Amino acid sequence: MWLLEPHAVWDKLQRVGNLYNDGDLDIISSMFPIQSEWMRYQMQTRVPGYEGRQPWWAWVKPMPDLRRWFSRGDQRELMVRIEIEVARERTVLVNASAWGEALNFAFLGPYNSEIQAEVFENVRYRRNAFDALPSEYKAEMMSSWEHIFDLEGVLTISDYSDAVLGTIETLHLSDVKRVTKYYSRPPK
């Protein structure tokens, strides 16, 4: 697995030995609070001993090509690709494309009716529309997100890539196998 993080994460991990994705390190939960809370619940049901913290996200497949990664801001930023090896029971694997769709409030899977299609297509990419949905539609949509865990089956419901992400709760220095420094590029 490979994490792409600012160099400061690597510096801190070397100092403290174990790192949680809390506070200023966590950008996903502030951008996608509903989906992040949902994933934390999923981890609680799938990872023994999970304590409820925001997960670290890592690429499982393919290895990230550092020539393609942009910075989070306008400046070149010193970054690291941290290669880790963790036990399978410490991670939850998801289809990266399908997870991206869930982040955009997409319904994953075939619609059961024209009404369902219309309701869910009007919500896509719109948090305020999701917030306005009746609770049964919210539950139905979030239930559809469980397709992200079926790494083979999810490929049959849409034109998703086979890229895989993994989550872990704690980053341990002892998990690190290799660190590659690079500079991110500002987006064009």
Q: CB atoms < 10 A from the CB of 169, how many? A: 20
Average pLDDT over residues 94-114: 91
Q: What is the pLDDT of residue 25?
A: 65
pLDDT digits (tens, 9 = 90+) for 22-73: 866 667 788 899 999 999 999 999 999 999 999 999 999 999 888 776 555 5
- When pLDDT is averaged across residues 124-144 and rounded to a whole number, the result is 90
**What is the model's pLDDT at position 71?**
55
* Domain residue extents for the chain: 2-183
Does the pTM surpass 0.75? The reply is yes
| DSSP per-residue letters across 33-54 | HHHHHHHHHHHHHHSTT---PP
Integer-rounded Cα Rg, in Å, for the chain is 17
Torsion sign across C-alpha atoms 28, 154, 48, 143: positive
What are the backbone angles phi and psi of residue 74, rounded to the nearest 5°?
A: -90, -10
Residue with structure tokens 């369902």?
116
If you ran DSSP here, which 8-state letter would residue 67 be given? G
Residue 34 has which token pair? 């509903």
Return d(Cα 95, Cα 161) in angstroms, integer.
8
